[in-house]
Amino acid sequence: MSVIVAYKYVANPQDASVGADGVVDWSRAKPAVSEYDPVAISLGRLVADATGSELVGVSVGTSAAGSSMAKKNAMSKGLDRGVIVADDETSTWNETKVASVVAGLVKKIEGSDLLITGDSSVDTGARMMSALVAGYLGWPCFQEVTNVEREGEGWAITQVVPGGTRRVVVEGSVVVAASSDAVEVKVPSMKDILAAGKKPVDVIALADLEAAPVEFDVTGRARPEAKSRKNVIFTGEDAAANLVEALRAEAAL
């Protein structure tokens, strides 16, 4: 049996800059495993160890995802092996198209019936990849998950809900998105990093997978419009009352 974790190797937006024309400059942004994914990998490691399963990482990204550094970065976090797509064509894909190929990778892994994703991604932050992949696989999906345990032929899932948590037992295969604080993330040691270079990572050609024919066109880019400020300062003993009166007058407009 295999436990699958989907991860993303992508540039961190905090290192990017936006030009006056609204175009994002990624030249100084260093790629790495998305900061939400180590939690998913750590949760997957616990599940794999408890069930005697192999932990397999799947990823769809540009050619950078197939570099030696990228492979070591991902494998050092606890994965046993990887199955990835590393093609620059994916750089312009939307989340729906990426999800269809992630699902294709999962289907290639024998004995897989659990897919774990991160809560979000560091670049787009759409929080929809788990649901999209689940749709292509035809599996149920649960988000904000803090724990997963084997239960008969299915899984027992602990999920955060308003007011607390709930435990759901699902028969068969399932996709879960790990909450950002589901488990403590182990920092890879030097031994982990050295061992990561020996772990197998299979790079699958796009031609061997079927990507959904979902396209979009960028019609323009622009910076958000700056809101004008009135720069009104209230002072004195009646400052609070004057502020409240001004806010009420503004709301009435």
Does the predicted model carry a pTM greater than 0.75? yes
pLDDT band at 253 (very low <50, low <70, confident <90, very high): low
Residue 251 lies inside a defined structural domain of this protein:
no
In a domain? residue 123: yes
Let me know if residue 119 belongs to a domain: yes
pLDDT for 50 equals 96
Q: Which residue has the higher pLDDT, 42 or 122?
A: 42
- Based on its alpha-carbon atoms, the radius of gyration of the chain, rounded to whole angstroms, reads 22
Strand partners for 122: none
Among the listed ranges 8-22, 28-42, 142-156, 190-204, which one has the minimum average pLDDT value? 8-22
> Is the distance from CB of 57 to CB of 82 less than 8 angstroms?
yes
Q: Is 147 within a domain? A: yes
Q: Distance (Å, rounded) from C-alpha 112 to C-alpha 56?
A: 9
Q: Which of 195, 155, 153 is nearest to 175 (CA)?
A: 155
According to DSSP, residue 63 is labeled G
| 49-63: average pLDDT | 96
Domain that includes residue 119, residue range: 2-208
- Residue 2 has a pLDDT of 93
| Structural domain includes residue 230 | no
The most confident of the ranges 8-12, 148-152, 222-226, 231-235 is: 148-152
Q: What's residue 149's pLDDT?
A: 96
Q: Which residues contact 87 (CB under 8 A, 6 or more apart)?
A: 62, 63, 205, 206
- For residue 195, being part of any structural domain is answered with yes
Tens of pLDDT, residue by residue over 193-210, are 999 999 999 999 999 999
Identify the bridge partners of residue 168 per DSSP, sorted by sequence position: 157
Residue 251 has pLDDT above 90, yes or no: no
- Here the CATH number for the domain that contains residue 71 is 3.40.50.620
- The secondary structure element, H or E, covering residue 146 is strand 141-151
pLDDT tens digit sequence for 116-155: 999 988 777 788 999 999 999 999 999 999 999 999 999 9
Mean pLDDT across 171-191:
94
Mean pLDDT on 79-87: 97
- Does a structural domain hold residue 190? yes
* 95 belongs to a structural domain: yes
**252 — pLDDT class (breaks 50, 70, 90):** low
Question: Percentage of residues in the chain with pLDDT exceeding 90?
Answer: 73
Q: How many domains does the chain have?
A: 1
pLDDT higher than 80, residue 221: no
